[in-house]
């Protein structure tokens, strides 16, 4: 492949370590005398020709990226349409890539970002433009194909375990006269890695979380309620961790919101409040629930915690 520039972009929800990947990409490219351009706000930066020349940054600043949270170059949730649907959009991408002599495109994100990289590779082949497209792993869900451990998952796994442990201590302290059940919602539409990570919060058979619900396992309401009731009777309280993608026997998400997101995925409304309502209505127990990252408010009966 002829000498040229590398275009790097970040996509989807940023993680605590996505900038560490950016730092590594830029440093590796510099060792090979390749200039790295960073698109502002993901693929949108390429379409808008808003590109950052990282060669103007000192090596100290690039190394510091590895310890900087958030997305340094901005991110987006934007799904490219098919080539047949919006050919002008793809022509624009090729024009921008040609104008800046981009020969490598690295898109740092999850499954949908890998799909974007694939579409761009198909586009380049059709236009006869030499371009290497690479999907760079990033997702806290840890659900990328042929990727054992996604950057972003370990830090999120630790956060989940620590949060569940802290919440369990609060519930245990108040269970005698107040909350009996706490429901913690973990990210994971199709993969239960983060929910499973919550198991690190406890050491013994009665330690929290006593119940973990996975998207890979069909939700059985009767069995769930029986387990909650038995746990409260035995331990005095119960902590439930549920993946956002928990489904019923018909295959529907428990928390389907009736809308779709930018990538066409069903928008989920929150499985934690759904489960809290079930426990409150069927067992008559006071319940707290939380969706990490959400702003919190308190409600009588089913109460959202500030985590």
62, 68 Cβ separation under 8 angstroms: no
Q: Taking 90 as the threshold, does the pLDDT of residue 276 lie above it?
A: yes
Q: In what order do the strands lie in the sheet with 238-243?
A: 211-213, 238-243, 181-186, 287-290, 302-304
Minimal CA–CA distance to 131: which of 98, 157, 86?
98
Instruction: Compare 145 and 256 and report the one with higher pLDDT.
Output: 145
Minimal CA–CA distance to 163: which of 204, 203, 209?
209
Count Cα atoms within 13 angstroms, Cβ side, for 287.
23
Instruction: Characterize the bridge pairing of strands 211-213 and 238-243.
Output: parallel
pLDDT at residue 255 in the model: 77
Distance CA 307, CA 302 (A): 15
Q: How do residues 53-102 score in pLDDT, each as one tens digit?
A: 999 999 999 999 999 988 999 999 888 887 788 888 888 999 999 999 99
Distance CA 199, CA 214 (A): 12
- Mean pLDDT is lowest, of 20-34, 35-49, 128-142, for 128-142
Band the pLDDT of 258: cuts 50, 70, 90. Answer: very low
The pLDDT mean for the chain works out to 88
pLDDT at residue 210 in the model: 97
For the record, the structure tokens of 53 come out as 């020349």
Instruction: Compare 260 and 31 and report the one with higher pLDDT.
Output: 31
What percent of the chain clears pLDDT 90, i.e. is strictly above it? 67
φ and ψ at 257, to 5 degrees?
-95, -5
CATH 3.40.50.450 fits 5-137, yes or no: yes
- Determine which one of 141, 143, 170, 176 is catalytic: 141
- Mean pLDDT is lowest, of 23-27, 56-60, 64-68, 295-299, for 295-299
Residues ≥6 apart with Cβ < 8 Å to 110: 11, 12, 138, 139, 141, 143, 144, 150
Answer yes or no: same fold for 5-137 and 153-304.
yes
User: Phi/psi zone of residue 128: left (φ > 0), alpha (ψ -120 to 50 degrees), beta?
Assistant: left
Q: How do residues 158-213 score in pLDDT, each as one tens digit?
A: 999 999 999 999 999 999 999 999 999 998 888 999 999 999 998 888 999 999 99
SS3 (DSSP) at 251: coil
Say how many C-beta atoms besides its own lie within 10 A of residue 295's C-beta: 7
Q: Is 141 a catalytic residue?
A: yes
Domain ranges of the chain: 5-137, 153-304
- Look at the domain 153-304 and name its fold: Rossmann fold (3.40.50)
Q: What angle do CA 101, 102, 108 make, to 5 degrees?
A: 165
13, 42 Cβ separation under 8 angstroms: no
240, 209 Cβ separation under 8 angstroms: yes
pLDDT at residue 307 in the model: 36
Distance CA 17, CA 68 (A): 8
Distance CA 103, CA 94 (A): 11
123, 86 Cβ separation under 8 angstroms: no
Q: Taking 50 as the threshold, does the pLDDT of residue 259 lie above it?
A: no
Q: How far is CA 14 from CA 48, 153, 222, in A?
A: 21, 11, 37
Cis peptide before 208 (omega within 30 of 0): no
Q: For the CA atoms of the chain, what is the radius of gyration?
A: 23
């Amino acid at each position: 492949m002829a000498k040229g520039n590398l275009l790097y972009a970040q996509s989807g929800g940023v993680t605590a370590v996505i900038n560490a990947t950016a730092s590594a990409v830029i440093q590796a490219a510099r060792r090979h005398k390749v200039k790295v351009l960073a698109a502002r706000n993901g693929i949108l930066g390429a379409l808008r020709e808003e590109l950052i020349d990282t060669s103007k940054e000192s090596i100290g600043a690039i190394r510091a990226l590895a310890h900087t949270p958030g997305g340094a170059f901005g991110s987006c949730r934007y799904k490219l349409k098919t080539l047949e649907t919006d050919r002008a959009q793809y022509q624009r991408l090729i024009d921008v890539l040609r104008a800046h002599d981009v020969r490598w495109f690295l898109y740092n994100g999850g499954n949908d970002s890998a799909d974007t990289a694939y579409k761009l590779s198909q586009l380049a082949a059709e236009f006869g433009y030499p371009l290497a497209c690479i999907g760079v792993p990033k997702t806290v869900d840890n659900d990328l194909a042929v990727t054992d451990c996604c950057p972003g998952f370990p830090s999120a796994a630790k956060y989940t375990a620590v949060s569940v442990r802290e919440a369990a201590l609060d519930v245990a302290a108040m269970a005698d006269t107040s909350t009996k059940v706490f429901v913690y919602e973990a990210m994971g539409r199709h993969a239960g890695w983060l929910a499973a990570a919550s198991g690190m919060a406890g050491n013994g058979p009665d330690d929290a979380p006593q119940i973990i619900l996975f998207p890979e396992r069909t939700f059985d309401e009767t069995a769930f309620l029986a387990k909650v009731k038995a746990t409260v009777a035995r331990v005095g309280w119960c902590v439930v961790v549920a993946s956002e993608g928990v489904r019923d026997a018909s295959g529907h998400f428990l928390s389907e919101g009736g809308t779709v997101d930018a990538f066409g995925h069903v928008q989920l409304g929150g499985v934690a409040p759904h489960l809290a309502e079930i426990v409150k209505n069927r067992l008559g127990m006071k319940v707290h629930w939380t969706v990490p990252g959400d702003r919190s408010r308190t409600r009588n009966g089913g109460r959202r915690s500030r985590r």
